[in-house]
């Protein structure tokens, strides 16, 4: 079975849309597919017309060992099965605190159905927490959708670092491929993002990009995969193309190692230590729009507020951070800038530099 996780800590970049439509295209091509929703928001269910209150047996029951995966599976159509999730899953991290090997719950839970499917497609939540670790440990491949119409490329460095760490510390090899989504070929910005991604990761980008297509939103709202909603729109053709690219990569499943030390435990030990308040500040004109984005907020820009120092306009924000290394950048009037008062920088993977702070 090929096991693929859709992962990116950024919300709205097309994880669920890709999980649902890739699963549906593969099933349409005759592959036996199991789609697993690992996001407590349950969007994959919504996108396939399954409401949260219709979900009695969810992935939570499987992860918590209350139910074998075979009992939580719903059949959606020919070749396509799914295990859905709902809000109950948000308790998972807390319930599992301190439980050894909790990052292998999903891999363990799915082991008994391993022979029944050719593809496992996992839709991850928009964070790199215990659920996403479970997905990465249960998979051999990660697809990272990057919304090329937004600033979501800036979280990539952190995500790739996490994948690298999983490989180094947990001994679990994971290949990744970046998928440009929401590509709007009419805008320079979108084209530039796609070009930069391909130049920076020549071996790790899909040739296919998913164009912006409102039919995708409509299909999700109607609870249907795009193949069942509109077979003539750009998005259907794009997802077909993506499926073909994935089929071409069909390779032997990699052997996996389960003899690991707890990577999540190591991360959580760090988290448990005392948080510190860090004041970020940058000088910029009074009428500027000034935001900050970094590893600490999943690269979702947050506004700074205007203060004055010696009569000069200074924008600032205090953020509580646990000890660790963080990369960040300011966004001044829509332009990314490194922190001029911090000389510590790291390659942002896109030809620029992120500022780095060690808390």
Ligand X SMILES: Nc1ncnc2c1ncn2[C@@H]1O[C@H](COP(=O)(O)OP(=O)(O)O)[C@@H](O)[C@H]1O
Site residues (vs Mg ion, CB under 5 A): 15-16, 43
- What one-character DSSP code corresponds to residue 98? T
Q: Please report whether residue 182 would count as binding ligand X according to CB under 6 A.
A: yes
Are 270 and 323 a contacting pair, CB within 8 Å? yes
Among 63, 96, 153, 216, binds ligand X (CB under 6 A): 216
Among 132, 212, 291, 355, binds ligand X (CB under 6 A): 212
Q: Which of residues 278-337 bind ligand X (CB under 6 A)?
A: none
The β-bridge relationship of strands 302-303 and 305-309 is: unpaired
Instruction: Provide the b/e sequence for 294-329 (b: ≥16 CB within 10 Å).
Output: bbbbbbbbeebeeeeeeeebbbebebeeeeeebbbb
How far is CA 12 from its chain centroid? 9
Can you spell out the DSSP letters for 218-255?
HHHHTT--HHHH-TTSHHHHHHHHHHHHHHHT--PPPP
Q: Which residue number, 14 or 294, has a Cβ lying nearer to ligand X?
A: 14
CA distance 297 to 291: 12
Q: Please report whether residue 217 would count as binding ligand X according to CB under 6 A.
A: yes
Are 260 and 172 a contacting pair, CB within 8 Å? yes
Q: Give me the least distance between CB of 343 and ligand X, in Å please.
A: 35
Please give the torsion angle defined by the CA atoms of residues 30, 253, 262 and 116, in that order, rounded to the nearest 10 degrees.
40
Q: Which residue number, 96 or 213, has a Cβ lying nearer to ligand X?
A: 213
Q: Give me the least distance between CB of 124 and ligand X, in Å please.
A: 8
Q: Give me the least distance between CB of 98 and ligand X, in Å please.
A: 30
Can you spell out the DSSP letters for 174-225?
-EEEEEEESB-TTSHHHHHHHHHHHHH-TTSB-S--PBP-HHHHHHHHTT--
Per-residue binding letters, 11-50, with ligand X (x by CB under 6 A): xxxxxxx-------------------------x-------
Q: Which residue number, 21 or 262, has a Cβ lying nearer to ligand X?
A: 21
Q: Which residue number, 123 or 339, has a Cβ lying nearer to ligand X?
A: 123
Q: Give me the least distance between CB of 16 and Mg ion, in Å please.
A: 3
Q: Which of residues 225-284 bind ligand X (CB under 6 A)?
A: 235
State the binding partner of 158 from Mg ion, ligand X, none, CB within 5 to 8 A by kind: none
Among 220, 264, 282, 292, binds ligand X (CB under 6 A): 220
Q: Give me the least distance between CB of 130 and Mg ion, in Å please.
A: 17
Q: Which of residues 99-128 bind ligand X (CB under 6 A)?
A: 126
Q: Give me the least distance between CB of 57 and Mg ion, in Å please.
A: 21
Token pair recorded at residue 184? 């709007």
Q: Which residue number, 83 or 284, has a Cβ lying nearer to ligand X?
A: 83
Q: Give me the least distance between CB of 326 and ligand X, in Å please.
A: 22
Can you spell out the DSSP letters for 36-55?
EE--TT-HHHHHTT--GGG-
Helix (H) or strand (E) holding 292: strand 290-294
Token pair recorded at residue 179? 């998928």
Q: Give me the least distance between CB of 9 and ligand X, in Å please.
A: 10
Select the residue whose beta carbon is closest to Mg ion and give its number. 16
Q: Please report whether residue 148 would count as binding ligand X according to CB under 6 A.
A: no
End-to-end CA distance of the chain: 42
Q: Give me the least distance between CB of 209 and ligand X, in Å please.
A: 9
Can you spell out the DSSP letters for 334-358?
TEEE--TT---EEE-SSSSEEEEEE
State the binding partner of 212 from Mg ion, ligand X, none, CB within 5 to 8 A by kind: ligand X
Q: Please report whether residue 155 would count as binding ligand X according to CB under 6 A.
A: no
Q: What are phi and psi of 32, to 5 degrees?
A: -85, 120
Q: Which of residues 162-181 bind ligand X (CB under 6 A)?
A: 181
Token pair recorded at residue 220? 């999700």
Q: Please report whether residue 210 would count as binding ligand X according to CB under 6 A.
A: yes
Interface residues toward ligand X, by CB under 6 A: 11-17, 43, 126, 181-182, 210, 212-214, 216-217, 220, 235
């Amino acid at each position: 079975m090929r096991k693929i996780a859709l992962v990116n800590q950024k919300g709205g970049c097309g994880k669920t849309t890709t999980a649902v439509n890739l699963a549906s295209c593969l099933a349409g091509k005759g592959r036996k597919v199991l789609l697993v929703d690992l996001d407590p928001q349950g969007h994959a269910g919504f996108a396939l017309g399954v409401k949260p209150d219709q979900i009695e047996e969810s992935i939570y029951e499987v992860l918590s060992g209350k139910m074998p995966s075979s009992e939580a599976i719903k059949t959606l159509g020919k070749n396509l099965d799914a295990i859905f999730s709902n809000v109950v899953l948000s308790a998972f991290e807390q319930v599992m605190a301190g439980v050894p090997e909790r990052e292998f719950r999903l891999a363990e839970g799915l082991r008994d159905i391993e022979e029944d499917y050719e593809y496992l497609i996992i839709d991850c939540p928009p964070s790199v927490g215990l659920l996403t670790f479970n997905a990465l440990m249960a998979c051999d491949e990660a697809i990272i959708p990057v919304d090329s119409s937004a600033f979501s490329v800036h979280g990539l460095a952190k995500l790739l670092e996490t994948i690298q760490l999983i490989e180094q510390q947990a001994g679990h090899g994971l290949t990744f491929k970046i998928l440009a989504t929401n590509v709007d070929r009419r805008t320079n910005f979108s084209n530039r993002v796609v070009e930069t991604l391909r130049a920076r990761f020549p071996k790790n980008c899909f040739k296919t990009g998913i164009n912006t297509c409102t039919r995708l939103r409509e299909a999700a709202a109607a609870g249907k995969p795009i193949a069942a909603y509109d077979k003539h729109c750009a998005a259907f053709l794009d997802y077909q193309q993506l499926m073909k690219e994935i089929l071409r990569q069909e390779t032997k499943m990699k052997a996996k190692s389960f003899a690991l030390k707890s990577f999540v435990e190591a991360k959580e030990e760090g988290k448990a230590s005392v948080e510190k308040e860090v004041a970020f500040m940058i000088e910029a004109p009074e009428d500027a729009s000034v935001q900050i984005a970094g590893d600490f907020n999943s690269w979702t820009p947050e506004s700074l507020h205007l203060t004055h120092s010696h009569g000069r306009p200074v924008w600032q924000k205090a953020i509580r951070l646990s000890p660790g290394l963080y990369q960040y950048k300011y966004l001044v009037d829509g332009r990314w800038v490194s922190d001029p008062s911090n000389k510590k920088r790291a390659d942002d993977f896109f030809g620029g530099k992120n500022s780095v702070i060690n808390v």
